[in-house]
Amino acid sequence: MEHKIIFVTFKIFFYAEGKSNIVKELSDTLASLGISTEVIHLNPRNFIKLQSIISRHKSLATVILVVGPSSLLSLVVMAYFSLLRKVYNTKLLVYMVQPTLLNTGSTLIKTLTQGILRIIGVDKILVQSKGVYRILRSLGLRAGLLPSGVSTEKFRPCSLEEKLHLREKHGLPAYVKIILHVGPIKKGRGIEHIMPLCNCPNIMVLIIGRPHDFDAKLVKEATERGCMVYNRFFKNIDEVYRLSDVYVFPTRSIKNAVDLPLSILEAMACNLVVVTSQLDGITTYWNNNPELGFYITYDPSQIPSLVEKIVKEGKLHATTRDLVRPFDWKNIARMLLIHIIDAYAK
């Protein structure tokens, strides 16, 4: 059966880079496998565009894959997709990479979310963690697991010689231990938990932010505390991972990150030691494993002392790449196709 997969993301109020990157990687990978794809960043001006695309491809088994509905408004808008589903006999799947509506502390919002999902009639809801999967199954909704992925070809380990060359290329000191974090510098991301590392001898904290999504006061504070902050786009971000020694992810709330963060997978693919806060999307697939250089802590305030101990004891050899080999984007794309086939078998 020939498929046309239309990826839809919401771009009504803000730009969510994690979700957009996931869509791009899935779309590009599926296209390389011979699957017809199209991406729409939905805003009030291009609703009609979606309908015209579906109408043009009526001969194909069209799938609307909505990625990351994270507001009640976006769920209400999905009622429109439900109408298209009936008119054009398409399949409607939802990929909740950031399930804030189901993990909210508000009983009202959670109840409304559950009710809207039932009314819309989604064929299958894909999530990144077992916790959210269980919630959906308990509601009688069809659900499946689909983790984030990584390009294991682009993100790879390197030799000491290459590491030193990359540090010279990017103007960074050769023989300090570089502690890396990649992601928006804003409240809720836990940046304050890695700043104390700047006081540790022989350690440099490198933070790669986003030019369009940052808190200026937090950037100033991190810089004044001694962090090396780059608030710009890096075309070859894989080089930044390779020149580093340890990757830290201090974010504890899924309001500020997808359930299984891409940057953690990218760091692991480069064989970095990884120290991360506990997220359900992480513990769904891995446990704390210091022998491989993979550390999970429930309390992000403990990250500085844990990293300092790792550096002091010289535990900087990691084999975290072995943990993410199955998460190559080609494997994740094939998993998505299996979910789509399952939706048609309903």
pLDDT at 189: 87
Q: Are 63 and 4 in contact (CB under 8 A)?
A: yes
Among 288, 310, 241, residue whose Cα is nearest residue 269: 241
Reduced to 3 states (helix: H, G, I; strand: E, B; else coil), residue 230 is: strand
- Report the C-alpha gap between 105 and 182 in whole angstroms: 28
Which pair of tokens denotes residue 37?
A: 């794809």
Residue 120 has pLDDT above 80, yes or no: no
Residue 13: pLDDT band by 50, 70, 90 thresholds?
Answer: very low
pLDDT at 176: 95
C-alpha distances in Å from residue 182, one per residue of 20, 140, 172: 16, 37, 16
- Report the C-alpha gap between 148 and 127 in whole angstroms: 10
The answer to which of 43-47, 55-59, 105-109 has the lowest mean pLDDT is 55-59
Q: Are 293 and 315 in contact (CB under 8 A)?
A: yes
Q: Are 7 and 39 in contact (CB under 8 A)?
A: yes
- Report the C-alpha gap between 328 and 149 in whole angstroms: 5
Q: What domains lie within the chain, and their CATH numbers?
A: 3-149+328-344 (3.40.50.2000), 160-325 (3.40.50.2000)
pLDDT digit string, tens, across residues 132-147: 899 888 888 899 999 9
pTM metric for this prediction: 0.91
- Report the C-alpha gap between 23 and 39 in whole angstroms: 8
- Other beta carbons within 10 Å of 142: 16
Most confidently modeled of 44-53, 57-66, 217-226? 217-226
Q: Residue 71 is which amino acid?
A: S
pLDDT digit string, tens, across residues 253-310: 767 788 999 999 999 999 999 999 999 999 999 999 999 999 999 999 999 999 999 9
- Other beta carbons within 10 Å of 151: 17
Residue 26 has pLDDT above 70, yes or no: yes
> Looking at the DSSP assignment, which residues form a beta bridge with residue 248?
275
- Report the C-alpha gap between 188 and 315 in whole angstroms: 29
Among 58, 53, 34, 31, residue whose Cα is nearest residue 42: 53
pLDDT at 65: 77
Q: At what angle do helices 17-32 and 329-344 cross, to 10 degrees?
A: 80
Reduced to 3 states (helix: H, G, I; strand: E, B; else coil), residue 52 is: helix
